[in-house]
């Protein structure tokens, strides 16, 4: 199968390819399964940068030794509503899966719960985790720092990470309401793509090493990226540094970049997840009020606007109908090369 030149892979084939690569690169079996689930989910949803391509990133990070390939995450109950999972230097996915039952149990018991994943390596989007929590009928919010590439509003030097924030809300039907976005103006990869294509970047994406606005992608990558939404986005980014950094005893983006020490591996650090049980506030009236939320969604789509993740869910629907995904030939060749 893997040698089949056809770029269409069934989900089973993509899973097998991911497993083969990750095993070959030394990742322990439980991590292989957890990482494979997010890789396949990303590719299925048309998120090229968080799909099969990420196997290349994983292989590179594994080669640097900056991720503990056989880490056994340890979940601990801290308080009636708080859970900590020490990922012990491994990938975040398995740590999340190991902590999820405690998070859900505590959230149902207390009405709200939070889980800190500490000491983990990040490379995935947050929405797979959000969707796993929302599938239990809970509302979820998650965020994580990354590497210090982004200047605060009014500043000139990198301090914040691209610091994604994600949110999910349960809906009737197959797709929840989910958003997941970086608090940087754009993804770092977007600036890199402009650099490769020799195209200028729009104003507002970055500043040069003197802190001056620039449309030169190389100058912005050497200087600093900017947050989305000016001082408001910058304030949110600072909040993420704090609540998914010092609040849980983990690194800020500046500390994570320092720990990377030029290795160019995925960001290390923590993640904070907050879950809320609508039944805690609403009791028997939960279904009634969740139905009222549907009026808000209709109010968005009814005027021709998109819901966040709508494109992703449409891609998922197409992939599920086809039973798999088509990989770009060059990517497929690069993936096969990881098996050597």
Minimum distance, C-beta of residue 70 to a copy of itself, in the bound complex (Å): 26
User: Cα(223)–Cα(155) distance, rounded to whole angstroms?
Assistant: 11
User: Cα(340)–Cα(329) distance, rounded to whole angstroms?
Assistant: 18
- Is 49 among the residues known to form the active site? yes
Residues in region 63-102 near a copy of itself by CB under 8 A:
78-82, 84
Q: Which of 18, 20, 31, 50 is catalytic?
A: 50
Determine which helix (DSSP H) or strand (DSSP E) holds 286, and give its type and residue range.
helix 286-301
Residues in region 190-249 near a copy of itself by CB under 8 A:
211, 228-236, 238-239, 241-243, 245-249
Minimum distance, C-beta of residue 104 to a copy of itself, in the bound complex (Å): 14
Residue 289 in the binding site for a copy of itself (CB under 8 A): yes
> In Å, what is the CA distance from 104 to each residue of 47, 98, 119?
27, 11, 21
Minimum distance, C-beta of residue 5 to a copy of itself, in the bound complex (Å): 38
> How far, in whole angstroms, is CA 154 from its chain's centroid?
27
Residue 332 in the binding site for a copy of itself (CB under 8 A): no
Minimum distance, C-beta of residue 264 to a copy of itself, in the bound complex (Å): 22
C-alpha Rg value of the chain to the nearest Å? 20
> In Å, what is the CA distance from 242 to each residue of 235, 306, 321?
11, 31, 42
User: Cα(57)–Cα(264) distance, rounded to whole angstroms?
Assistant: 10
For residue 168, give the 3-state DSSP assignment. strand
268 - beta bridge partners?
121
Q: Which of 15, 190, 314, 317 is catalytic?
A: 190
Site residues (CB under 8 A) for a copy of itself? 78-82, 84, 109-114, 116, 139, 151-157, 159, 167, 169, 177, 179, 181, 183, 211, 228-236, 238-239, 241-243, 245-249, 252, 254, 274, 276, 278, 280-282, 285, 289-290, 292-293, 295-296, 299-300, 303-306, 308
The residues annotated as belonging to the active site are 49-50, 190
């Amino acid at each position: 199968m893997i040698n089949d030149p056809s770029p269409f892979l069934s989900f089973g084939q993509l899973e097998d390819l991911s497993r083969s690569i990750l095993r070959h690169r030394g990742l322990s079996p439980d991590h292989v399964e957890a990482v494979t689930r997010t890789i396949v989910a990303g590719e299925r949803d048309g998120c090229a940068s968080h799909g099969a391509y990420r196997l290349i990133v994983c292989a590179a990070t594994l080669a640097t030794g900056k991720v503990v390939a056989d880490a056994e995450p340890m979940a601990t109950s801290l308080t009636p509503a708080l859970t900590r999972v020490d990922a012990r230097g491994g990938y975040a996915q398995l740590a999340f899966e190991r902590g999820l039952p405690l998070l859900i149990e505590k959230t149902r018991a207390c009405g709200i719960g939070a889980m800190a994943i500490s000491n983990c390596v990040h490379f995935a989007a947050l929405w797979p985790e959000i969707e796993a929590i929302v599938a239990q009928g809970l509302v979820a919010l998650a965020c994580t720092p990354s590497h210090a590439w982004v200047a605060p509003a009014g500043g000139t030097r990198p301090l914040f990470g691209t610091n994604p924030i994600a949110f999910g809300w349960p809906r009737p039907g197959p797709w929840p309401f989910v958003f997941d976005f970086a608090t940087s103006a754009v993804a770092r990869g977007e600036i890199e793509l402009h650099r490769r294509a020799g195209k200028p970047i729009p104003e507002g994406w970055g500043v040069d090493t003197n802190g001056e606005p620039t449309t030169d992608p190389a100058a912005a990558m050497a200087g600093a990226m900017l947050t989305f939404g000016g001082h408001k986005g910058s304030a949110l980014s600072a909040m993420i540094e704090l609540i998914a950094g010092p609040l849980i005893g983990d690194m800020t983006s500046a500390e994570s970049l320092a720990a990377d020490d030029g290795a160019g591996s995925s960001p290390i650090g923590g993640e904070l997840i907050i879950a809320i049980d609508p039944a805690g506030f609403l009791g028997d009236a939960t279904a009634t009020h969740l139905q009222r939320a549907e009026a808000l969604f209709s109010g968005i789509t009814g005027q021709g606007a998109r819901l966040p993740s709508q494109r992703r869910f449409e891609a998922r629907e197409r992939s599920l109908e086809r039973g798999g995904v088509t990989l770009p030939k060059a990517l497929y060749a690069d993936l096969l090369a990881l098996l050597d």
